Amino acid sequence: MQRYKKTEYQRQKQETFRIFARKLLDMQYDFDKVPDRTGSGDIKHMDLLRDFGRSDLIPMWIADMEWETPSFITEALKKRMEHSLFGYTKTPPNYWKVISKWIYDHHQWKVREDWICYIPGIVKGICMAIYALTKEHEKVIVQPPIYHPFYLTPRGCGRTVVWNPLKEIMDQDGHLVGYDMDFDNLEQVYDKDCRLLILANPHNPIGITWSKETLQRLAHFAVTHNLIVLSDEIHCDMALFGNKHIPFGSVNEEAANCSITFSAPSKTFNIAGIVSSWAVVPNDHLRKKFYGWMAAGELNEEHLFAPIATMAAFEHGEPWRKEMLEYLEGNINFLIDYCREYIPQINPLRPQASYLVWLDCRALGLTHSQLLDLFINKARLALNDGEMFGTEGHGCMRMNVACPRSMLTQALEQLRDAVQGIIR
């Protein structure tokens, strides 16, 4: 596996950061370590040739971390593996209690245990909700730029996708600084066949932690227009820079009565391969309909390792989570500072949550194919291109910065050299 070189500039900056961070935080965990993923079968490396046309790229695309899953999770899994009998197992009696406590402790939402149900992945949960709660002629609203399964999944289920793009927010110099929901346009695109609206909260790929006022306004719109909101909150435990995640279903009774909330520990603790997602449905009628549909096919039954990994994460993972977020904030600050100094043509939006950074590259003046060529063939980086998230993402890229600082530095140096090569 490739090792990422450290420049003198990086060595000095990284050493300064390391000394400062460890003095202030008494850090127990090493996020500078570059993991060796050889033999793990990870998509991030193994699908480079298939998806990008070459394998010699620094992978900063698919949303998992270049940090090892923390040891308190792997040790819990190992302990269960020592008992070499893997027959049918019951749900641990405190599984839902651990999850509901985590939600309350971190997001102040009192979730009853009977509101929670295992789902075999959030995209699968969205797909199941579409089949369980909509008819073929009904429509699903999405708000691009948006995580691509939000529109691919409804299409694959034979439903029509209705687009309500987010509004760009510009500063006085014409630089993109953020996005907001467009409620005026939402009213225009809605018709009586619209049945679901899929919400990313926090938003993917922009990293917005939606305000309580925005969520309340959306809830009122949904209730008055007979919409169910599917809220994907998988990045909820990764709020950054003093921002706060607010669960959609918690903001008022309207939101609770029209919503299905999906979440998981997978992004926060880097265990996506274990598949440990769940849904929360406060409304009795909606819950019986959706959970009854899943129970008919035993789709609500968790596999053996999901509760083990989840409970280990939530019972022992808070120190690791806090240190990870501190390191991640350092990476994001480093990226923004580096682009400002060396690649001013690229504008990284500071995410309010998650390790995904939206790069506005439109100042380069490149076509879509030219932008891909810049990142893939000239900079030798694998990022998700903005148009994957809808046409509104034209000229943008999504960068995953959950990685050791040395890897991020090498990526930025390669990008700087590539940009300088096309603007000379």
Instruction: Report whether pLDDT(23) > 90.
Output: no
Residues 225-261: tens digit of each pLDDT: 999 999 999 999 999 999 999 999 999 999 999 999 9
- Banded model confidence at residue 423, pLDDT cuts 50, 70, 90: confident
Residue 78 within a domain: no
For residue 421, CA distances in Å to 11, 100, 239, 363, 383 come to 25, 52, 36, 15, 19
| Judgement on whether residues 37 and 135 belong to the same structural domain of the protein | no
The CATH number of whichever domain residue 382 belongs to comes to: 3.90.1150.10
Instruction: Report whether pLDDT(5) > 60.
Output: no
Average pLDDT, the chain: 94
Residue 81 within a domain: no
| Judgement on whether residues 232 and 285 belong to the same structural domain of the protein | yes
Residues 160-200: tens digit of each pLDDT: 999 999 999 999 989 999 999 999 999 999 999 999 999 99
Helix (H, G, I), strand (E, B) or coil at 176: strand
| Judgement on whether residues 158 and 221 belong to the same structural domain of the protein | yes
- Show which of 316, 341, 366 is a domain's final residue: 316
Residue 295 within a domain: yes
The rounded distance, in Å, linking the Cα atoms of 175 and 169 is 8
Residue 1 within a domain: no
| Judgement on whether residues 173 and 243 belong to the same structural domain of the protein | yes
Instruction: Report whether pLDDT(25) > 80.
Output: no
Q: Residue 4 has what pLDDT?
A: 47
Q: Residue 13 has what pLDDT?
A: 58
- Banded model confidence at residue 16, pLDDT cuts 50, 70, 90: low
| Judgement on whether residues 329 and 398 belong to the same structural domain of the protein | yes
What percentage of the chain reaches a pLDDT higher than 70? 94
Burial of 293 (0-12, 13-18, 19+ CB in 10 A): middle
The residues, any chain, with a CB within 8 Å of residue 62's CB and separated by 6 or more, are 43, 44, 384, 400
Q: Which residue has the tokens 């950061």?
A: 17
| Judgement on whether residues 308 and 332 belong to the same structural domain of the protein | no
Pairs from 153-159 (Cβ < 8 Å, separation ≥ 24): 153/123, 153/126, 153/127, 154/130, 154/196, 154/198, 156/127, 157/127, 157/130, 157/131, 159/130, 159/134
Residue 357 within a domain: yes
Q: Residue 3 has what pLDDT?
A: 47
How much is the average pLDDT of 192-220? 98
Residues 113-145: tens digit of each pLDDT: 999 999 999 999 999 999 999 999 999 999 999
- Show which of 316, 347, 375 is a domain's final residue: 316
Q: Residue 15 has what pLDDT?
A: 59
Residue 2 within a domain: no
Q: Residue 79 has what pLDDT?
A: 97
| Judgement on whether residues 14 and 55 belong to the same structural domain of the protein | yes
What range does the domain containing 195 cover? Answer: 86-316
- Banded model confidence at residue 305, pLDDT cuts 50, 70, 90: very high
Residues 33-51: tens digit of each pLDDT: 999 999 999 999 999 999 9
| Judgement on whether residues 345 and 208 belong to the same structural domain of the protein | no
The rounded distance, in Å, linking the Cα atoms of 404 and 35 is 9
How much is the average pLDDT of 358-373? 98
Choice between 367 and 6, residue whose per-residue pLDDT is larger: 367
| Judgement on whether residues 277 and 160 belong to the same structural domain of the protein | yes
The rounded distance, in Å, linking the Cα atoms of 164 and 231 is 16
Residue 372 within a domain: yes
Q: Which residue has the tokens 């003095």?
A: 23
The rounded distance, in Å, linking the Cα atoms of 250 and 203 is 17
Quote the number of domains for the chain: 2
Residues 403-413: tens digit of each pLDDT: 999 999 999 99
Q: Residue 424 has what pLDDT?
A: 72
| Judgement on whether residues 305 and 344 belong to the same structural domain of the protein | no
- Banded model confidence at residue 27, pLDDT cuts 50, 70, 90: confident
Type of residue at 280: V
Choice between 395 and 10, residue whose per-residue pLDDT is larger: 395
Residue 77 within a domain: no
| Judgement on whether residues 122 and 62 belong to the same structural domain of the protein | no
Q: Residue 10 has what pLDDT?
A: 56
- Show which of 316, 340, 367 is a domain's final residue: 316
Look up the pTM and report it: 0.93
How much is the average pLDDT of 276-286? 98
Residues 373-403: tens digit of each pLDDT: 999 999 999 999 999 999 999 999 999 999 9
For residue 316, CA distances in Å to 71, 74, 78, 116, 387 come to 10, 12, 16, 21, 39
Beta bridge partners of 118: 278
- Banded model confidence at residue 1, pLDDT cuts 50, 70, 90: very low
| Judgement on whether residues 268 and 197 belong to the same structural domain of the protein | yes
Least-confidence region, from 10-24, 205-219, 304-318, 330-344: 10-24
Residues 44-81: tens digit of each pLDDT: 999 999 999 999 999 999 999 999 999 999 999 999 99
